[in-house]
């Protein structure tokens, strides 16, 4: 039996994989990746059966004005740029009402680090939304929470408590990128540190707020650093059980300053994506849900990812400005279309809410 076969057998037997195992799996190439997919599919089936979930939600990126300088980001603008924007709370409430009328159950709200925005804007927004719509508020990355706490002189723990009191239900686990300082220094030196991301996430979990876990891959990181990232989130999940799902996000290079200035790869290839989904499913034995983002992968590859360990397609989103700014052509996906993608992958479509209660 080859070394890779032995690792796959170990995963199928329910034994936890080591970081060395994961690294060896990430070195598999060509048709060997299909065997990883087959093993990941069996493990997925054990975790969630034949169901593939999706959610009706709406994204609101309330501003693209940002004092940050992440080199992978094509979304940010300076105040005063011709295409800079900032939504007032009234507009956000209108967007939310429209989303509720269309049947969405979740608002996913994130924005740039606006120089004039602090905790009051966030809490006022949450309060106004809770008064106007009956929707789950999934909002503000750990970076936004860290930023608000720095600006207002509160600790992140207190900031989280204020947001929760104002109506925050759960938090997107974005801004994680790769949780390794060497990589962060290269792609987002001004962002919160890996240690601070972990701290905010654990504090949110401790206060009863679920979060997602994400990983931005396919830029400057090595396979070892991908594994380190997976291992960090597996450890957090062991401790808190607060992650609802893992969402691998492939780097979109087209308009990213990192790529345009000669750094970073041209994103991942389809085989890299599928391999990462399979390895994530096999390594993250304490995650029930792995999401294939149709926004990042496209409809067709996200469908194939359902045979490589993924069991969720994410949301309808309605508007997603961050990936669009990075250079992907996105139009909205309908529930009918998600249904069709899932059915023709041989799986059972199931509508869910943010915390994976089926609807
Ligand atoms: S990723 Fe977020 S924090 Fe970084 S530059 Fe873009 S909008 Fe700003």
Return the CATH number at 33.
3.20.20.70
- Mean pLDDT confidence for 21-28: 98
pLDDT category of residue 263 using cuts at 50, 70 and 90? confident
6's CB contacts (< 8 A; 6+ apart) are none
- Angle formed by the axes of helices 32-48 and 3-12, nearest 10°: 10
Q: What is the structure's pLDDT at 1?
A: 84
C-alpha to C-alpha distance for 31 and 42, rounded to whole angstroms: 18
- Give 153's Cβ-side CA count (13 Å radius): 0
Q: Is 175 in the pocket of ligand 1 (CB under 6 A)?
A: no
The share of the chain scoring above pLDDT 70, in percent, equals 96
Q: Which atom of ligand 1 is nearest to the CA of 72?
A: 1
Residue 322 has pLDDT above 70, yes or no: no
Q: Is residue 358 part of a domain?
A: no
Tell me how far the alpha carbon of residue 74 lies from the centroid of ligand 1, in angstroms. Answer: 8
C-alpha to C-alpha distance for 254 and 259, rounded to whole angstroms: 7
**What is the count of structural domains for the chain?**
1
Q: Is 287 in the pocket of ligand 1 (CB under 6 A)?
A: no
Which helix (H) or strand (E) element contains residue 277?
helix 270-283
Q: Is 216 in the pocket of ligand 1 (CB under 6 A)?
A: no
Quick one: which of 300, 294, 329, 332 has its CA closest to 314?
294
pTM of the model: 0.95
Q: Is residue 357 part of a domain?
A: no
- Mean pLDDT confidence for 9-16: 98
3-state DSSP assignment of residue 58: strand
Q: Are 272 and 218 in contact (CB under 8 A)?
A: yes
Q: Is 352 in the pocket of ligand 1 (CB under 6 A)?
A: no
Domain that holds residue 83: 3-351
Q: Is 257 in the pocket of ligand 1 (CB under 6 A)?
A: no
Give the end-to-end CA distance of the chain in Å, rounded to a whole number.
Answer: 44
Atom 2, ligand 1: residue with shortest CA distance: 112
> Using one digit for the tens of pLDDT, what is the confidence trace for 293-310?
998 999 999 999 999 999
Q: Is residue 153 part of a domain?
A: yes
Q: Is residue 66 part of a domain?
A: yes
pLDDT category of residue 326 using cuts at 50, 70 and 90? low
Q: Is 251 in the pocket of ligand 1 (CB under 6 A)?
A: no
- Mean pLDDT confidence for 216-243: 97
Q: What is the structure's pLDDT at 358?
A: 74
């Amino acid at each position: 039996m080859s070394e890779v076969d032995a690792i796959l057998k170990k995963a199928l037997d329910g034994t936890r994989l080591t970081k060395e195992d994961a690294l060896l799996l990430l070195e598999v190439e060509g048709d060997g990746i299909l065997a990883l997919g087959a093993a990941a599919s069996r493990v997925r089936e054990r975790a969630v059966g034949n169901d593939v979930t999706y959610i009706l939600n709406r994204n609101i990126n309330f501003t693209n004005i940002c004092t940050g300088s992440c080199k992978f980001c094509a979304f940010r603008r300076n105040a005063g740029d011709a295409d800079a924007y900032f939504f007032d709370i009234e507009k956000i409430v209108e967007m939310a009402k429209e989303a509720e009328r269309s049947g969405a159950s979740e608002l996913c709200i994130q924005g740039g680090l606006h120089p004039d925005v602090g905790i009051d804007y966030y809490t006022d927004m949450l309060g106004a939304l809770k008064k106007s719509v009956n929707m789950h508020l999934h909002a503000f990355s750990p970076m936004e929470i860290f930023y608000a706490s720095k600006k207002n002189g509160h600790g992140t723990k207190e900031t989280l408590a204020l947001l929760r009191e104002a109506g925050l239900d759960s938090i997107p686990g974005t801004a994680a990128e790769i949780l390794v300082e060497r990589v962060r220094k290269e792609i987002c030196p001004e962002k919160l540190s890996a240690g601070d991301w972990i701290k905010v996430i654990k504090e949110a979990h401790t206060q009863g707020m679920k979060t997602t876990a994400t990983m931005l891959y396919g830029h400057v990181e090595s396979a070892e650093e991908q594994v380190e990232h997976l291992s960090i989130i597996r450890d957090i999940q062991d401790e808190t059980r607060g992650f609802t799902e893992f969402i691998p996000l492939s780097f979109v290079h087209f308009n990213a300053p990192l790529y345009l200035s000669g750094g970073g790869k041209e994103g991942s290839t389809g085989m890299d994506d599928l391999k990462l989904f399979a390895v994530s499913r096999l390594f993250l034995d304490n995650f029930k849900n792995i999401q294939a983002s149709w926004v990042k992968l496209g409809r067709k590859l996200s469908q194939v990812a359902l045979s490589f360990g993924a069991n969720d397609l994410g949301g309808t989103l309605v508007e997603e400005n961050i990936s669009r700014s990075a250079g992907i052509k996105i139009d909205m996906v309908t529930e009918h279309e998600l249904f069709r993608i899932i059915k023709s992958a041989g799986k059972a479509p199931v509508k869910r809410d943010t915390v994976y209660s089926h609807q």
